[in-house]
Amino acid sequence: MGKGGMSHGEGSKVEEENMAAWLVGLNTLKIQPFLLPSVGPHDVRVRMKAVGICGSDVHYLKTMRCADFVVKEPMVMGHECAGIIEEVGEEVKHLVVGDRVALEPGISCWRCNLCREGRYNLCPEMKFFATPPVHGSLANQVVHPADLCFKLPENVSLEEGAMCEPLSVGVHACRRAEVGPETNVLVMGAGPIGLVTMLAARAFGVPRIVIVDVDENRLAVAKQLGADGIVQVTTNLEDVGSEVEQIQKTMGSNVDVTFDCAGFNKTMSTALAATRCGGKVCLVGMGHGIMTVPLTPAAAREVDVVGVFRYKNTWPLCLEFLTSGKIDVKPLITHRFGFSQKEVEDAFETSARGSNAIKVMFNL
């Protein structure tokens, strides 16, 4: 059980009135009471105002699992979130009631070797919103460690604060790949993570970005958001060779780094083939569990393959990018819903359908 709350037990009047969107079964969401723990000395209680739907949320709804994480009992959904502080613990000095904050959703142990060396995103004891068996943040209120709540600058909205979570994935990927003003980037996939990775890469100074997808509508969005080139591809492995030629022609020079933000056999095969000798391919997030890809030819060209899982120490930089205007995430929010039973169901179905939906946001 994570810090977010509990399904049953003793609670105050405030806690009893707290409601959340629970995943109670396959394709079944219910708004039900969500009792919160007391606020500890280093915690804050936050009233949620903006919560986005992530692809992992949809996976849990449709299959009751995401990669190796399996839902075995009812779970509160949501992890992309921002809100307003309503109560602070007695040891909290940097936040006060009324502050608007973006929440980093993962609580690591801070004791294991990975945490001690700064790679807390890989902590084996990580308690992450809406990752079984930890409850999420699609609720009226949550309790969370104060050091994982980041005060929003005046010119950053609560919705933009919630977008710091997916943006953090792109920022962490760019750090892992060490992109910069001399790096040409290819992005496989123009979904939400592909698009935030593209935006992050531009903020890091990348001069040229080409993005690839099967969907012409998403490619059009990518172009509007600043992609230098777009390439529409198929799902057929037989087309990899010709599509790599098209990608390299569109780039106009070497592909230094490729971000595979889709995670299929074909996208990874294309990434490995398109990237120059000595370049990098970053597999962002959790794609297919088992992939068959041409590693030997890539190894012969010394193409490095780098894994990217969640993020670490990214919220301050995300907020700096948003405050300065280097990144504008507002165009990514395509659909907004309230917090009623019907709206919750409609929002998840809208996100699951994809099509013209990029980021679906709840306004609580």
pLDDT for the residue 290: 80
Query: In Å, how far from its chain's centre is CA 301?
Result: 31
pLDDT for the residue 5: 53
Domains of the chain: 19-151+329-363 (3.90.180.10), 169-307 (3.40.50.720)
Neighbours of 81 (CB within 10 A): 31
Note the pLDDT tens digit of each residue in 77-134.
999 999 999 999 999 999 999 999 999 999 999 999 999 999 999 999 999 999 999 9
Q: With 0-12 CB in 10 A as exposed, 13-18 as middle and 19+ as buried, what is 335?
A: middle
Note the pLDDT tens digit of each residue in 136-177.
999 999 999 999 999 999 999 999 999 999 999 999 999 999
The pLDDT confidence band at residue 13, using thresholds 50, 70 and 90, is very low
Note the pLDDT tens digit of each residue in 44-53.
999 999 999 9
What is the torsion angle, in degrees rounded to the nearest 10, for the CA atoms of residue 17, residue 56, residue 197 and residue 270? Answer: -170
Query: Residue 231 pairs with which residues in a beta bridge?
Result: 212
pLDDT for the residue 218: 94
pLDDT for the residue 3: 52
pLDDT for the residue 11: 42
pLDDT, mean over the chain = 94
Note the pLDDT tens digit of each residue in 63-79.
999 888 999 999 999 99
pLDDT for the residue 68: 84
Q: Is the pTM of this model over 0.75?
A: yes
22/168 Cα distance (integer angstroms): 25
